[in-house]
Amino acid sequence: MGSRDLLLFRKQMRSFLYGLVFTARLSASSLAFEHDVRPILERSCVKCHGGEKLKGEVDFTKILTKQDADAQFELWETVIEVIEANEMPPEDEPQLSDAEKKTILNWYQGRSQVVIEAKPAVFKPRRLSGPEYRNTLRSLFGFDLEVAVAEAEQTVISEKSLVLKLLPTDPPGASGFINDTHRARLSPVIWDQYLHLSNAALENLFSKNGRAQLGGFIGNQLSEDWQPVDLSRDQAERLIRAFVPRALRRPTPEEQLSKILAGIFGKHGEALLAATKFELKAILMSPAFFYRGLLMEGDPSKQQAVDNFELAERLSYFLWEDRPDEELTQLATDGSLGDRQVLNKQVTRMLSSPKARNLARSFGTQWLKIDSLDGLLAKDPIRHHALKTQPLDFLNYLFTENRPVLELIDSKITFVNEGTSGFYGKDRQRMKRHVKPNGIERQRTPNQKLKLVHAEGRGGLLTMPGILTMNQGPIQRGTWMLRQILGIQVSEPPANTPPIQGSPHGENLTFRERFEAHRSDPSCARCHEKIDPLGFALEGYDKNGQFLRSTDHSKKKPDKAIEPIDTSGKLPSGETFETFAELKTILLTRKREPIVRNIVERTLAYALCRKLERNDQPVVDTITKNLCENDGTWLGLFQQVANSLPFRETIIKTANTSHE
């Protein structure tokens, strides 16, 4: 196992580490490295990782004491990962018993509470993502920059935002989210687009259409016959004093404002108008506007709480993907935002805002890869709208109505429109009737909140037709569930992996039977041991997400003998099931902790706009434990994230200190 493999399997530790209940953990004092763990390593690991043979540059013969083990503590994360994944020991070597695995796990868990200290990350500035920049510009000016788009029901909805049409699409960062822009450089192309968008926003502000917004900055309503050239010195000063702090998302020192106001001194008419626009544009083109955190106050090389304005900014971009509003800014100004109760109330308030839908639209979509439907259904916009908006409305419901986090897996509430109602049997009869306009054969319709009573095989995100459609086939469905729901990363199949062979001549084998030959290859079997049970459990749903009763699949060939659909399986951890409903029960009980942990990790990474680090794990542990013990809700999760150490604190390095 090379060093690259160690990194690949790093994430896989989560399922094994937290697949056992917290109460089963042994204390650090009950297990000793020298007495309990080292003998297992000597029996099973040093043959490949010791002496002259050092696979992955790991030498267990040099780790003899507790002090040696603590000095290389990150190594044990990988050890746990590959053991749980059955990657180590190799197949041709004696395997670890369940008791030996549990011994290593319990020792690791006990020592991790001692060795790993919760610490915030080093501050790194990050540029606003495209959606963040669009929303920030819109809330600053009070209007959106849009392009005229002619639409019809039978065409794909085009992007109306001028910002998102011009700016390059942000690639996901190391965290997997596009707000992780630490390594996204400010290119000349993006700079030119910022300049163009700044000019467009200012022109619109001083146009007749922006009259109300301009009057809001100035502090009085402008008359109908007022023209921009009529801008007075007093109006220009009030405009600048109101605009600059809002744009920079914190109060502006009088010294800085005085320097800006000096640019309009002694001017009037066209010259005053031009100078005012120039000063506003300078703010819009400053790094402090399109970068986050550059104005944060603090002491270099010291762990410290972020200032209240940075805290307000972190909270607003987390929950709204937008700049702080007046209430958040006022609480930051008077210093009360740092109070835990005040912050919790703000989380509750912000989730009740329409802006909170951005949590589903951005965080939920990126985490669960819902945008996969875009390319798949590009030629069928009505179906695309129906299948994509259903999970988004469901996530928005979970996030904003204080629902338990595990309702993601199973819920009696769903959202259905005309395009998805056919999947929900008798329950569709309780929907409000939608009357189509004359001449319209198919139409995009809004979702209705629907309580599931009769619908078979439904409930929660996993069985929504859009999720099943974007993951067609047991392998894709199982892989998606492993990665996005359980948080277990599986490597991509080798480039030379052969396709699944058809049935031999004269035989009528099911896909599952034909697949057995493929997975018998040792190089494939280990990943498929984790993927296949989850994927084949969903064989009761066709490629469009329609639930199939045991006889549905033979209707087109009535002369064929009726064969039940095999949805049974056995998880690597030993649990068995016959149907997806039984698997769902396992997910909600035995797999409760790994699912909750994955949710916590994804949420925290999105909130922090970065990949989680070793010192974030104690925070993840605490939040996971709290949610599992108290049937935690999404509101509780968001509040705990907002109050967490890495969210509220940072480390600022000096300019001459090298960054990662």
Confidence of residue 656 (pLDDT cuts 50, 70, 90): very low
**Rg over CA atoms, the chain:** 28
| % of residues, the chain, pLDDT over 70 | 81
Amino acid at residue number 451: K
Query: Residue 426 gets which letter from DSSP?
Result: G
Residues 539 and 607 in one domain: no
Model confidence at 484: pLDDT above 60: yes
Per-residue pLDDT of 78-128, as tens digits, reads 777 777 666 667 666 677 777 887 887 777 777 777 777 889 999 988 999
Residues 516 and 536 in one domain: yes
- Report phi then psi at 612, rounded to 5: -70, 150
- Residues 283-295 have a mean pLDDT of 95
Residues 285 and 426 in one domain: no
Asked if 119 and 51 count as a contact pair (C-beta separation under 8 A), the reply is: no
| Tokens (6 digits) for 227 | 């023209």
Domain total in the chain: 4
Residues 153 and 208 in one domain: yes
Amino acid at residue number 278: F
501, with CB counted inside 10 A (0-12, 13-18, 19+), is: exposed
What pLDDT does 5 receive? 44
Last residue of a domain, one of 115, 148, 181: 115
How far, in Å, CA of 456 to CA of 54, rounded?
54
Residue 345 lies in a domain: no
How far, in Å, CA of 411 to CA of 462, rounded?
11
Lowest mean pLDDT among 40-54, 448-462, 612-626: 40-54
The bridge status of strand 649-652 relative to strand 413-416 is: unpaired
Residues 463 and 510 in one domain: yes
Q: How many CB atoms lie within 10 A of CB 46?
A: 17
352, with CB counted inside 10 A (0-12, 13-18, 19+), is: exposed
Cα separation values, 620 from 18, 614, 647, 649, Å: 11, 10, 12, 16
Q: Bridge-partner residues for 449, per DSSP?
A: 415
Chain position carrying tokens 């996530």: 395
How far, in Å, CA of 236 to CA of 436, rounded?
51
Q: Please tell me which residue, 219 or 497, carries the higher pLDDT value.
A: 219
Residues 398 and 476 in one domain: yes
Last residue of a domain, one of 258, 292, 326: 292
Confidence of residue 511 (pLDDT cuts 50, 70, 90): low
Residues 526 and 498 in one domain: yes
The three-state secondary structure class of 441 is: coil
Amino acid at residue number 112: S
What pLDDT does 149 receive? 63
Residue 572 lies in a domain: yes
- Report phi then psi at 558, rounded to 5: -65, -20
Cis check for the bond before 558: say yes or no (omega within 30 of 0).
no
Per-residue pLDDT of 140-164, as tens digits, reads 999 999 987 655 555 556 678 999 9
The three-state secondary structure class of 270 is: helix
Residue 658 lies in a domain: no
| Tokens (6 digits) for 458 | 């439904």
Q: Terminal CA-to-CA distance of the chain, rounded, Å? A: 26
Q: How many CB atoms lie within 10 A of CB 366?
A: 18
Residue 203 lies in a domain: yes
Residue 251 lies in a domain: yes
Closest CA to 485 of 566, 318, 601, 386: 601
What pLDDT does 23 receive? 35
| Tokens (6 digits) for 396 | 């928005």
How far, in Å, CA of 498 to CA of 502, rounded?
12
| Tokens (6 digits) for 518 | 């493929």
Confidence of residue 514 (pLDDT cuts 50, 70, 90): low
Residues 108 and 140 in one domain: no
Q: Which helix (H) or strand (E) holds 352?
A: none
How far, in Å, CA of 603 to CA of 315, rounded?
13
Last residue of a domain, one of 249, 276, 292: 292
Residue 258 lies in a domain: yes
Residues 402 and 259 in one domain: no
Lowest mean pLDDT among 202-211, 284-293, 348-357, 506-515: 506-515
What pLDDT does 573 receive? 84
Closest CA to 565 of 586, 546, 540: 540
Residues 285 and 238 in one domain: yes
Residues 414 and 550 in one domain: yes
Q: How many CB atoms lie within 10 A of CB 657?
A: 10
Asked if 346 and 355 count as a contact pair (C-beta separation under 8 A), the reply is: no
What pLDDT does 593 receive? 94
Lowest mean pLDDT among 43-57, 96-110, 404-418, 440-454: 43-57
Asked if 270 and 229 count as a contact pair (C-beta separation under 8 A), the reply is: yes
Q: How many CB atoms lie within 10 A of CB 416?
A: 27
Domain containing residue 489: 369-586
Q: Bridge-partner residues for 424, per DSSP?
A: none
Residues 444 and 458 in one domain: yes
Per-residue pLDDT of 13-65, as tens digits, reads 333 333 333 333 434 445 788 888 788 877 777 667 766 666 666 777 777 77
What is the pLDDT of the chain when averaged over all its residues? Answer: 85
- Residues 476-495 have a mean pLDDT of 86
Question: What's the pTM value of the predicted model, to 2 decimals?
Answer: 0.86
Residue 426 lies in a domain: yes
Closest CA to 13 of 606, 636, 601, 655: 601
Asked if 384 and 377 count as a contact pair (C-beta separation under 8 A), the reply is: yes
How far, in Å, CA of 517 to CA of 502, rounded?
11
Q: Please tell me which residue, 107 or 438, carries the higher pLDDT value.
A: 107
| Tokens (6 digits) for 389 | 């908006």
Asked if 599 and 626 count as a contact pair (C-beta separation under 8 A), the reply is: no
| Tokens (6 digits) for 505 | 């001549």
Residue 316 lies in a domain: no
Cα 590 to chain centroid distance, Å, stands at: 24
The three-state secondary structure class of 84 is: helix
